[in-house]
Amino acid sequence: MVEPRFAKILVPVDFSPCSEEAFRVACSLARLYQSELVLLHVVDTPALERFNQLGLGLPSEKAKQKKSLRHNARLNCRRLLTSDIAKGVPIVREIAEGSPFVEIARAARAERVDLVVIGSYGGQGGRVEKIFFGSTAEKVVRTAGCAVLCVPLPPALAGGQRTNKK
């Protein structure tokens, strides 16, 4: 029997292709190390605030917007939890609200995880903030307090081609 080096693994997802690849990798590692997996989605409330400030949503609808985002998160989490990839892996689902990197680091500490498996970039690529403040994955690496594995999108999904270098 394999001695688990990673008894508990946290995988934050935003349901982008890259985070779903991280989920696939996390499930494989959980199977290998016989680990418990914590699936976390963070409703990005600061982004919702910016959305409303730009006039793209009504601030008076904020509670309804959050409820809708939480509902969609539960549906997407259920889709991942019932996928073939997740079969045989003990998984706990958590949904939080706040700034993603803050909530991910908080969950990593609160759950006492040994490893965070995160997509190297999420579903909101190209935001100006990333140029100045860094990506969520980069901030998690700096603040999680445990090992962090950043998973890139596979070249086949990214539109690139694999090259064999010798």
Q: What pLDDT sits at residue 155?
A: 74
Give residue 166's pLDDT: 41
pLDDT at 130: 45
Residue 16 located in a structural domain:
yes
Mean pLDDT for each 10-residue chunk of the chain (166 residues)? 80 94 97 96 88 69 87 97 97 96 96 95 52 71 91 73 44
Q: Which phi and psi (to 5°) does residue 20 adopt? A: -70, -30
Q: Is residue 25 one of the residues assigned to a domain?
A: yes
**Per-position DSSP letters for 31-67, written without gaps between them:** HHHT-EEEEEEEEEHHHHHHHHHTTSS-GGGHHHHHH
Q: Is residue 135 part of a domain?
A: yes
- How much is the pLDDT for 153? 84
In the chain, how many domains are there?
1
Kindly state whether residue 3 falls inside one of the protein's structural domains: no
Tell me phi and psi for residue 57, to 5 degrees: -155, 165
Strands 91-98 and 115-119: unpaired
CATH of the domain at 122: 3.40.50.620
pLDDT score for 40:
98
Structural domain boundaries enclosing 70: 8-158
114 within a domain of the structure (yes/no): yes
Residue 92 lies in a domain: yes
Q: In this predicted structure, what is the pLDDT of residue 57?
A: 66
Give pLDDT, residue 123. Answer: 54
Tell me whether residue 165 is in a domain.
Answer: no
Q: Flag whether 166 is in a domain.
A: no
Distances (CA, A) of 148 to 5, 15, 22, 49: 14, 19, 11, 29
